[in-house]
Structure formats: C-alpha cells, structure tokens
Structure 1
Amino acid sequence: MPTIGRTRDETIEILSIVPTQGPGGIIAPSCTAAISLAVDEINSGTGILGREINLTTLDGGREPHEVAAEVAAFLATGMVGAITGWHTSAVRRAVAEAVDARVPYLYATDHEGLPDERPGVLLVGEHPDHQTVPAAAWMTRELGVRRWAVIGNDYIWPRRTARALRRSLPDPYDIIVEHYVPLGTTDFGDFLDDPALLLADAVLILMVGADTARFNRQFTATGLPAVMPRLSPAVDENVLLSAGPSANANLYVASSFFLDNKSAEGRSRRARYHRHQGRFAPVLTTFSNSTYEAIHLLNTLADTTGTLDVETIIAAAHPGLALDGPATRRGFLGNQAVGPTHLAMANGVDFDILCRLPANPGRA
C-alpha cells in the first residue's frame, strides 16, 4: 500500500479501477498511462493536501461483485483516500455500495444519470441528456435523421441511455429497433439481419470497447455506412484503431473529452504525456484523458475544500463548485462535473471535432 519508506500520514492511497480484461481491456493501457502522468504531475508539486499519491490499479473487467469485494478489502485497512477509474456502470454501482460514502469516488466514465446515486460518487463523465441526446438532435437537424436503431450491451448504462433518447424524440416509436447483447459478443447477425434495420435512418451504438470495434467491422461489411450514419458516446481512438480505418466511415462520436491537436492545451498535454511515457506509449485518448482529468479534479477539490471528507466536498459541490486546474471540467454542480461536450466525426483512426453541443437541446 503506502510507498516504502513513507508513513501513512505522508501518502494518500488512490485506487484506480480500469478493465484489464473483457471488451473494455483495449482501453486500459491508455488509462493507466494517463493516470500515471497525472499522479506524477501532482506529486512533483505538493501532492494532495501535502501528501504524496500512491496509486493502486484494480482490474475493473471482472464481475462487479468481484471488483467490489476487492475494494471493500482495501477500504477495511483504513488507508484508502479516494477511488477513480474508467469502468462500466455495473461495476460502479457495486463499488459505490461497498464504498458507502467513506471516501470520494470520481467515476471517470459517461453514465446513465440515475437519480439514486450514492453520496460520495462524483460523476466526471457525462449525463446522456448532455451528450447522446443533443448529439442525436444535431443529427436530426443536420442529417435529417428521424428513426433510430439501437444496439447496446445488456446492462444499465445502454438501456437507460436508450430510454433518454426515446424520451427526447417527438415520437417514441422513432426507435424502431432496440437490441441488447452480452458483453463480449462477437456475432451481431441478429441485429444486422433484422429487416426493420433498413427502416432506420441511423444507428446508436451503446457498447463497450472491443464490442463496438467488432460491430463496426461487421456493420461496414453490410455496406450500410454509406447510407446510415452511426452515433456513439463510447468510442475512443483505441476503438477506432481496433476496428480499422475502413470500419469508421460515417461514424459520429459525442464526448466531453476530445483532445484537440489544434489547441495549445491539447498539444501541450500530448507533449507532456509523450515526455512522460515515451514515444511508443499507448495513445492518449478520449477515455484515458478523462481518467487524467479525474485525478486533477480530485486534487483541486481537496485544495478548494481543504479536505477529502465526503460530506464536506458534497456540501461545497451542491450549489456549484468552481475549480481551477488543468482539467477542462471546471467544477461540479451537485455530484456532476460540468464542462463542454463536443461532437466529432471519425476520420480514419482519429477525430475531426465538428461542434460544441448544447447542454439542453430540447426536443428534436
């Protein structure tokens, strides 16, 4: 746990939960590298509340109850100061129950916006009403999309996000196909062979990592990308690389965390990342950037409130807590981080940012 030669009072243990197996495993190397950069940047200063960060990574690709049990064992030592990472909402729900608001838990993944989130869970990822819904509205305005087909992994985030899209549509029956598959699915024939798919104008993909890459390859083989755009809030550069450039045509992605090579901050962050990790490092992606920002948000939260006490942080965040620091997220409103959301189009294995999305688009 604590760094050798240092006492508990001199270090703060942070658990980072990222999947090292399963469909999300392709994202883990990028996330681990990005978190390491953030930790080193903070430790090179004063640390968090004057204490050096010691990071322990847990495999978030296991069954949720297994991850939660390991988290509970770490918490039982009394030495954990905070939790973060990129993992599924099913893992988050199990871990949040195990944590039970004992330490701050910064969830660095887009989420489904459940109203009963446990205290202490701070949502660094985006709510579907601020991401998927306005992106779908943009596609209606700009591309004439009215009718949707939805393909998702079978757990809470895809189902709740599809429900948010349905609520936003003028006619709820404009989702004409809705199909869910287990994590790790390799054959999407049931969805692709459904005759109703040809009645849709676009496909919303709500799957994780390698599942999305496999789907995009199979979807491309049907010839449909030429006439049917796809939208996803869960694609990063690793997914584009895994699918291959030819499988990413006509693919739109909504995200809070695109690193823009045209901006000074985007170029600076990539440069710092490559200095830290080397030229052959995993690509710094949309998702790994969110884990980087979560660590910096934790640091600025602690600096602003003077503590990592959950009740104090939540009380400060509730009316709208503004923060300074390197994150594009500049504060919290309640338990939700607030900041810009953008829409991009895949261009081979990279992204072209198209526009900033409004937070409350209204009905399409």
Structure 2
Amino acid sequence: MPTFDESRDETIEILSIVPTQGPGGIIAPSCTAAISLAVDEINSGTGILGREIRLTTIDGGRSPYEVATEVEAFLATGMVGAITGWHTSAVRRAVADAVDGRVPYLYATDHEGLPDERPGVLLVGEHPDHQTVPAVAWMTRELGVRKWAVIGNDYIWPRQTVNALRRALPSPADIVLEQYVPLGTRDFQAFLDSPALLRADAVLVLMVGADTARFNRQFAATGLPAIMPRLSPAVDENVLLSAGPAANTNLYVASSFFVDERTADGRDRRARYRKHQGAFAPALTTFSNSTYEAVHLLRTLADTVGTLDVPTIAGRLATGIVLDGPSTRRGFVGNQAVGPAYLARADGVDFDIIDRLP
C-alpha cells in the first residue's frame, strides 16, 4: 500500500488476487511475474490516468470468505483503485459482494457466464458459450465426439459450464458421466472406474491447477488417452509441466490467451518477459498472460473513459467501446471483454495451436 506521505492522488493501488496455496498455487508465480511486467511497462509510460501503479498481492487460495474479508479491509483504507487477478469464481463472487461496485474489478479467469454480476465486475476471461461450447462443437465436427464424460471441481464455474454445454448438445443424454470433486482431490479412481466412462467419446475436465495435473496422470495410467481425447478450458503450461509429457497425450485446450511464438507479438512479449524477469523466471503461460492483459486492459479502459469511477465506466460500456493496447481484448459487450479464442493440442509441455474458434 502507499506510504503515509503518498496520497491517493499520486498513486493507484491495485489489488492482485492470486492463489498461493491449494490446487491453484502452481499458477501463482507465473501470474505474479506477468502482472509485475505489466505494472512496470505501464509505469514506464504515463501510468494510469497519469498516476503510478502500486501493486499489492493477496492470497486467493483461501476460502472465499477469508479472501473477501481481507479485500474489505483494504477497501476500508480508501486507497484501492482497482482489483484484478486469477482465482476461482467462488472467490470472485464473494469478493464482488465485498467490493459492491466501489472500484473496477477485472476478473482474468474464465467464468460461468451468469448474468447477475455485481456492478464494476469486468470479465476478461471467456464465457463458456464463447470458448468451451465452440471447442466441444469442434471436437464433434473434427473428431466425431458425441458422448461426453465430465469431471469437475465442486463449485460454481464447473457446474454452470456444464449447464451451458448441456444446452448446446443435441441431447442432455450426451453427457453420460458427470462427477464433481472437492478442490484438492488426489484420488480420481471412482471416476476412472465408472462403467459409464467407457460409453464416452471424450472427457471434459473442469478442474483447477494441480487437481487437473493429478487427474491427467491418473487418466494416462489407464491407457485411455490413446482412444479418448480430453478437453479443458483450464490448463496452462504449468499444469502440463506438473502432469508430465506422458500425461498430456490427446489433450485439447481452449483459451483466449495463448502466447503464440509464431507471431511477432507473441515473440516480443516473451522476450520482454524474459528480459524483465530473468532466465530462471516462471514461464509466461496462458493463465499468467491473461493477468498481464487484464492490467493493460485496465489502463486502456481508464485512459479511454478518463476515470476509474464504476458508474461512469458502466455507462460507457453500455454504449459500446473499442480499446487499443497490448491485449487481445479489444472492447466489451456489456461487462464481457471480447476477443478471439483458440483451440490447441498439448505437445509435451507446450501447446500447438490448431484452430481459431468461431
């Protein structure tokens, strides 16, 4: 937070919520490093609204109530200008209630697409209708997948994403197995031993971080990957590395935030990241890239609108707004940032981008 001799007029304090414990903890070092790069890039220019950014990171891996309580304490100081980060939707819902529209809250993770978000919550990650559902349609068209098994963590994002998928499938019966497990689950044998799994053509994996890596290792041990592809919108290079190359065979991932080194922008971003963080920094991954883009999107939005005032921002978003900056997010439809989404196939511990999703 700013020191006592600094006023809010001189700095903008941003809270960054990332999990430093639990299954999402493997994501935190990459996200923190990427956000640091974005902050330094912005501060090397004119900052946000002509003011320097100051960053405070809080642990989003605790219970939603604990995270929201800490956010509320920071907000009570009157020094917080905005919130961002990569964390679960359960945490977002609790934090959004605590924030209550006082500051913009740019959520950098894929979400469940419910229409009742609190004022000021701006969704940088994708709605399932724009990412998971088109990826499922791609696998139907290109791989002949008709029947799905679903394994997810037991909270709002996986369950609502499956509801979106169920609405899009020809028949609800096309989901032949659906199981939800607590965050931090280590044993997936009940799912893997289910006879219904053998009636599926593919598996949709809706879990977080280390849970996904553990599942992929156990799934690979069954020998099923050779005949049964998996799809997930929640895998980054940290998850691939944690699972190991052998566990990533026939794994497809949908994302809007791949850092594509086949493009000049992707190569340049990785080069800037390595220069800023050093040779031994955590990887710049799809998840950490989403947090990098969220901070730049906040700057572009604030400078375009001329304020961080939530009602003013909401009014501009309601009329449509186009943004320009180092982000794939080029504008908003309501509170949803819009941009292209892609499908990739895991290649060892990296991604091979194979198509753009409609």
- TM normalised by structure 1 equals 0.98
SS in 2 for 1:332: strand
Q: Is 1:184 matched up with 2:199?
A: no
CA contact (8 A) 1:217 1:243 kept: yes
| Structure 1 pair 3–291 and aligned structure 2 pair: CA distance change class (3 A) | farther
Structure 1 consecutive aligned stretches of length 4 or more whose deviation exceeds 6 Å: none
Deviations 1:4-57 (A, max 9, x none): 763332111000000000000000000000000000000001110111000000
The CA distance in 2 between the partners of 1:4 and 1:261, in whole Å, is: 44
CA contact (8 A) 1:12 1:51 kept: yes
> Paired residue for 1:311?
311
Structure 2 stretches of 5 or more lacking a match? none
SS in 2 for 1:213: helix
Deviations 1:43-84 (A, max 9, x none): 001110111000000000000000000000000011100000
**For 1:32-47, what aligned pairs fall within 5 Å after superposition?**
32-47=32-47
Letter in 2 for 1:34: A
> Paired residue for 1:86?
86
The CA distance in 2 between the partners of 1:7 and 1:179, in whole Å, is: 51
> Paired residue for 2:294?
294
**For 1:168-317, what aligned pairs fall within 5 Å after superposition?**
168-317=168-317
The CA distance in 1 between the partners of 2:143 and 2:67, in whole Å, is: 42
SS in 2 for 1:180: strand
The CA distance in 2 between the partners of 1:356 and 1:110, in whole Å, is: 17
Deviations 1:258-277 (A, max 9, x none): 01011000000000000000
Deviation at 1:243, TM superposition (A): 0.1
SS in 1 for 2:356: strand
SS in 1 for 2:204: strand
The CA distance in 2 between the partners of 1:241 and 1:134, in whole Å, is: 26
Q: Is 1:118 matched up with 2:114?
A: no
The CA distance in 2 between the partners of 1:335 and 1:36, in whole Å, is: 25
**For 1:147-186, what aligned pairs fall within 5 Å after superposition?**
147-186=147-186
> Paired residue for 1:353?
353
The CA distance in 1 between the partners of 2:20 and 2:161, in whole Å, is: 25
Letter in 2 for 1:253: V
Q: How many residues align?
A: 358
> Paired residue for 1:16?
16
Deviation at 1:318, TM superposition (A): 1.9
Letter in 2 for 1:185: T
The CA distance in 1 between the partners of 2:166 and 2:50, in whole Å, is: 48
The CA distance in 2 between the partners of 1:71 and 1:357, in whole Å, is: 36
SS in 2 for 1:343: strand
SS in 2 for 1:9: coil
> Paired residue for 2:136?
136
> Paired residue for 1:65?
65
The CA distance in 1 between the partners of 2:68 and 2:307, in whole Å, is: 25
SS in 1 for 2:342: strand
Deviation at 1:319, TM superposition (A): 2.8
CA contact (8 A) 1:103 1:308 kept: yes
CA contact (8 A) 1:18 1:57 kept: yes
Deviations 1:150-200 (A, max 9, x none): 000000000000111111000110000000000000000000000110000
The CA distance in 2 between the partners of 1:186 and 1:279, in whole Å, is: 32
SS in 2 for 1:72: helix
CA contact (8 A) 1:319 1:333 kept: no
SS in 2 for 1:326: coil
- TM normalised by structure 2 equals 0.99
The CA distance in 2 between the partners of 1:98 and 1:7, in whole Å, is: 24
> Paired residue for 2:320?
320
Q: Is 1:105 matched up with 2:79?
A: no
Letter in 1 for 2:353: I
Deviations 1:310-346 (A, max 9, x none): 0111111123210010001111111000000000000
C-alpha RMSD over aligned residues: 0.8
Letter in 2 for 1:291: T
The CA distance in 1 between the partners of 2:113 and 2:7, in whole Å, is: 39
Letter in 2 for 1:198: L
SS in 1 for 2:9: helix
SS in 1 for 2:216: helix
| Structure 1 pair 42–4 and aligned structure 2 pair: CA distance change class (3 A) | farther
The CA distance in 2 between the partners of 1:275 and 1:79, in whole Å, is: 31
The CA distance in 2 between the partners of 1:339 and 1:111, in whole Å, is: 15
